[in-house]
């Protein structure tokens, strides 16, 4: 009979007895039960106070929160405690910190800046404006600039399926390639049709580039979809190349309105709410998932990866390379600003306005 079966049988026959045959260690014990040096962290108020004094000055977050975290390593804490005369291992320190409510945590993106008092009211205004336009069959687009990307054999976040042990080889350092530079994807998302357009710029992300992308979308996609359009509604962030305070943005929109011969209505999101823009989670997020783990080796590869982005809900994307030159530092004078036919809404006219075409 196996030894394990014998031990199990003895346990069943004599549940209250602890014998050597049943695996009891009492007969082999050198010290009596409970003997030996006591753990340093047990009932040692001085040690707890010393540990708290080391951790607390660099504790981050809300002091009232029951869950706190520290950036000091366990071994550093062990060394500092030993220098103060406390003999305790780093593993015991880790257990003690857990009991005290500490844990290792990363950063969380939750701070969006100041909360404007009319934030919710502006959301409702944009929503009403967009619903009315779509109900009347008018185009409503969401625009924004995607994160600039290094072009070349650089690491791209995420993972993709490859043969085991054969990861894609990329550069160790992320220094900008002088010949390839960066890619500036600027997107236009058609909310009604779930269509996207992205221009991959090779120069600077300026207001001229932003409006040029909207122009490309109109003649490449929008004009056919909205042949009877009477106006164009644009929802955009409050900053960046399409910011509410950018004069060049409004001047370029005036040129586009004159060219299309329809009013262009604009509504900006309140400060600190860029992630609420439709294009962020309806287009850009899927583009990022589509090219995850793939080095963006050429501008043409970026264009192809963007154009290949689809979703189960029928998202379709067109992409083009825009190698035009868009210089920075262009100043719009007060005289040029006065030529813009801008009609501001009663509710936050700095965020909600219309650019009316000028008759030639």
Which of the four pLDDT bands, split at 50, 70 and 90, describes residue 21? very low
- pLDDT tens-digit readout, 259-291: 999 999 999 999 888 788 899 999 999 999 988
d(CA 2, CA 14): 18
Q: What pLDDT, on a 0 to 100 scale, did the predictor assign at position 18? A: 55
Dump the DSSP string for 80-99: HHHHTT----HHHHHHHHHH
* DSSP symbol at 113: S
Between 325 and 83, name the one with better pLDDT.
Answer: 325
For the chain, the structural domain boundaries read 43-108, 119-355
Q: What is the pLDDT of residues 166-195, one digit of tens each?
A: 777 777 777 888 888 889 999 999 999 999
Q: Give the pLDDT confidence of 87-131 residue by residue, as tens digits.
A: 888 888 888 888 877 877 777 666 665 577 888 999 999 999 999
Map residue 231 onto helix, strand or coil: coil
Note the pTM of the prediction, 2 decimals: 0.70
Planar angle of CA 142, 148, 153, nearest 5 degrees:
135
Domain 119-355 has CATH 3.30.70: no
pLDDT at 105: 74
Q: Shortest CA distance to 151 belongs to which of 196, 186, 184? A: 184
% of the chain exceeding 70 in pLDDT: 85
CA–CA dist 192, 138 (Å, integer): 9
If pLDDT is split at 50, 70 and 90, which confidence band does 19 have? very low
């Amino acid at each position: 009979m196996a030894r394990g079966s014998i031990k199990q049988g003895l346990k069943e026959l004599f549940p209250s007895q602890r014998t050597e045959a049943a695996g009891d260690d009492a007969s082999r014990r050198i010290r009596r039960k409970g003997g030996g040096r006591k753990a340093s962290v047990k009932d040692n108020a001085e040690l707890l106070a010393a540990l708290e004094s080391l951790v607390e000055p660099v504790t981050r977050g809300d002091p009232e929160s029951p869950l706190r975290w520290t950036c000091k390593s366990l071994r550093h804490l062990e060394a500092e405690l030993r220098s103060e005369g406390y003999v305790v291992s780093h593993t015991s320190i880790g257990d003690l910190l857990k009991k005290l409510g500490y844990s290792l945590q990363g950063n969380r993106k939750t701070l969006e800046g100041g909360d404007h008092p009319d934030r919710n009211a502006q959301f409702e205004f944009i929503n009403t404006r967009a619903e009315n336009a779509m109900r009347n069959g008018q185009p409503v687009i969401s625009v924004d600039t995607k994160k600039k990307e290094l072009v070349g054999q650089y690491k791209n976040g995420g993972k993709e399926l490859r043969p085991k042990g054969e990861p894609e080889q990329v550069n160790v350092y992320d220094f900008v390639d002088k010949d390839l530079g960066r890619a500036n994807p600027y997107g236009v998302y058609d909310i009604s049709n779930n269509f996207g357009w992205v221009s991959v710029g090779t120069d600077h992300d300026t207001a001229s580039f932003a409006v040029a992308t909207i122009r490309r979308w109109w003649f490449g996609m929008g004009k056919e979809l909205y042949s009877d359009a009477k106006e164009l509604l644009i929802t955009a962030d409050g900053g960046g190349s399409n910011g509410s305070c950018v004069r060049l943005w409004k001047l370029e929109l005036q040129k586009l309105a004159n060219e299309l011969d329809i009013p262009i209505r604009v509504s900006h999101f309140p400060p600190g709410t860029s992630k609420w823009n439709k294009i962020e989670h309806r287009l850009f997020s899927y583009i990022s998932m589509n090219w995850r783990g793939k080095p963006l080796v050429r501008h043409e590869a970026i264009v192809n990866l963007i154009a290949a982005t689809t979703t189960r809900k029928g998202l379709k994307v067109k992409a083009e390379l825009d190698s035009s030159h868009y210089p920075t530092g262009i100043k719009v004078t007060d005289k040029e600003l006065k030529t813009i036919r801008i009609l501001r809404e009663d509710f936050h006219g700095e965020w909600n306005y219309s650019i009316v075409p000028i008759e030639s």
